[in-house]
Amino acid sequence: MEMWVPNVSEQQVSQLVTDLDTKGFGYIPDYVPSADLQRMQRFVSGAMVKSNHEYIHFNGPDSVTGSGLEDLARSPRFQKLMHDLYEHGTGKIAPKEGFYQVLRCLSGSTGQKNSLIFHYDSYVVTALIPIEIPVSGETGDLLMYPNTRKVRGSYLRNAIDKVLIDNPITQRLLRATVNSKKLAPVRIKMQPGNLYFFWGYRSVHTNARCDPDKVRATALFHFANPHSSAS
Residue 231: its pLDDT value, please? Answer: 56
Residue 177 falls within a domain, yes or no?
yes
- Number of structural domains the chain divides into: 1
Domain-located, residue 5: no
Average pLDDT over residues 100-121: 95
4 belongs to a structural domain: no
Here the CATH number for the domain that contains residue 123 is 2.60.120.620
| Residue range of the domain that includes 114 | 10-223
DSSP per-residue codes, 57-103: EEESGGGGTTSSHHHHHT-HHHHHHHHHHHHHHHSSPPPS---EEEE
C-alpha span between 212 and 54 (Å, rounded) = 8
In a domain, 230, yes or no: no
Strand residue runs (E) in the chain: 26-28, 56-59, 100-106, 125-132, 142-145, 186-188, 195-198, 204-207, 216-223
Asked whether residue 99 is assigned to any structural domain, the reply reads yes
Among 14, 177, 130, smallest CA distance to 81 is for: 14
Would 3 be classed as within a structural domain? no
- Would you state the pLDDT for residue 4? 84
Residue 121: helix, strand or coil by DSSP? coil
Convert the pLDDT of each residue in 125-165 to its tens digit: 999 999 999 999 999 999 999 999 999 999 999 999 999 99
- The chain-wide mean pLDDT, for the chain, equals 95
Nearest Cα to Cα of residue 133 among 40, 69, 58, 71: 40
Q: Let me know if residue 231 belongs to a domain.
A: no
Residue 22 maps to a domain: yes
State the average pLDDT over residues 86-96.
96
| Entry pTM | 0.96
